[in-house]
Amino acid sequence: MKNNKLYEDYHTNTSVQFKIIKENNFTYKLILQVLNKYLKSEKNVLDIGCGAGTLTMYMAVLGIDISEKAVHAAQKSAEVLDLKNISFKAVEFPNEVPTDTYDFILCSEVIEHLENDTLALKKIYQLLKPEGIAMITTPSINAPMYRLGLANEFDKRVGHLRRYTLDALALKCQKAGFTIIGMKKNEGILRNFLFLNPIAGKFIRFIKFFLVDVVTYLDNATVPLFGESDLIVVLEKSSDLFCEAAKYVSSLKMVSVKMIQEQFKIGNASSEKLLEQLAQAGFVEPDNGLEQRKVNQSAIFLPILKYKGSP
């Protein structure tokens, strides 16, 4: 596989896992808080860039990774844990993709490694079923450690090609066709220091039980003070009808269920659902008990809608 040596070397010492992580796992706590909100266990799920398969096994899904060593270690872990509904495959994403489509796709700490992140987002969009959800995490350019020049060696060692601001990442996702349903500035300088510094990182294994919540609380307090180290965006592949409805209401000041019904020739129940989806995306005001709702003129339509809220 092209450009694979770096990642094969990185996973040379990747070991077999003997247990599935729990929600209070310090390393994955922040991502699991968002993941659990959107993930449905019965859905068809894909984990892009699964690495050792830690999150793949938590979700019980298909994991793909460019590194054959990582995939081999993940397969061994699944065998040890006797996990039957999990599979792993070496895939050079985005140049290669699975043939199936998915209800949920996780792409955690991956797009910053890819030469063509625009193509990657387009492929994720294509792999999603209509109204499917994708969750992307990636390092922030505003990370305090990065701004101090203390993350440069780490970025080079693990193959980071770029970092993102939240606005730049959101715009790139919208241009790929996604509706943004949540964004979050994640991880403060404390956690980031523990993960970037080899010596400090040795203490992570001792952060368990109540200490997880204590350290997480202290770390969260540093985000507004010093900036975030990581970004999370949650995306939805909107239906064609949703996109047409978004275009329609963008020209209005007020909108109602009856107006939606007459414009798109759909039933009352479908019109109510569509209007509620527009409200959840931040394009119209929430239900106020009145016949008409105010259109949110501050929402951005790129071709899809601007997010409102956080995951």
Q: Clarify whether residues 279 and 171 are in a common domain.
A: no
Tell me whether residue 121 is in a domain. yes
pTM: 0.82
- State the pairing for strand pair 179-186/230-236: antiparallel
Q: Count the domains in the chain.
A: 2
Give me the pLDDT at residue 246, please: 82
Give me the pLDDT at residue 42, please: 63
> Element (H or E) spanning 191, and its range?
helix 189-196
Q: Closest Cα partner for 223 from 192, 182, 189?
A: 189
Give me the pLDDT at residue 68, please: 96
Copy the structure tokens of residue 162. Answer: 């770029």
Q: Closest Cα partner for 244 from 228, 266, 226, 215?
A: 266
Tell me whether residue 299 is in a domain. no
Give me the pLDDT at residue 308, please: 41
Q: Clarify whether residues 278 and 183 are in a common domain.
A: no
Tell me whether residue 305 is in a domain. no
**What CATH number has the domain bearing residue 162?**
3.40.50.150
Distance, first Cα to last Cα, the chain:
35
Q: Clarify whether residues 217 and 261 are in a common domain.
A: no
**What CATH number has the domain bearing residue 268?**
1.10.10.10
Task: Please identify, among 215, 236, 257, the residue that sits at the C-terminal boundary of a domain.
Answer: 236
* Beta strands across the sheet bearing 87-90: 87-90, 62-65, 45-48, 102-108, 128-139, 230-236, 179-186
Give the span between the Cα atoms of 45 and 128, in whole angstroms: 9
Q: Clarify whether residues 90 and 145 are in a common domain.
A: yes
Tell me whether residue 69 is in a domain. yes
pLDDT, mean of each 10-residue run, the chain (311 residues)? 78 93 97 91 89 95 96 97 95 96 96 97 94 95 97 96 95 86 93 95 94 97 97 88 83 92 90 85 81 74 44 67
Q: Clarify whether residues 218 and 107 are in a common domain.
A: yes
Copy the structure tokens of residue 176. Answer: 């790929």
Q: Clarify whether residues 266 and 208 are in a common domain.
A: no
Domain that holds residue 208: 5-236
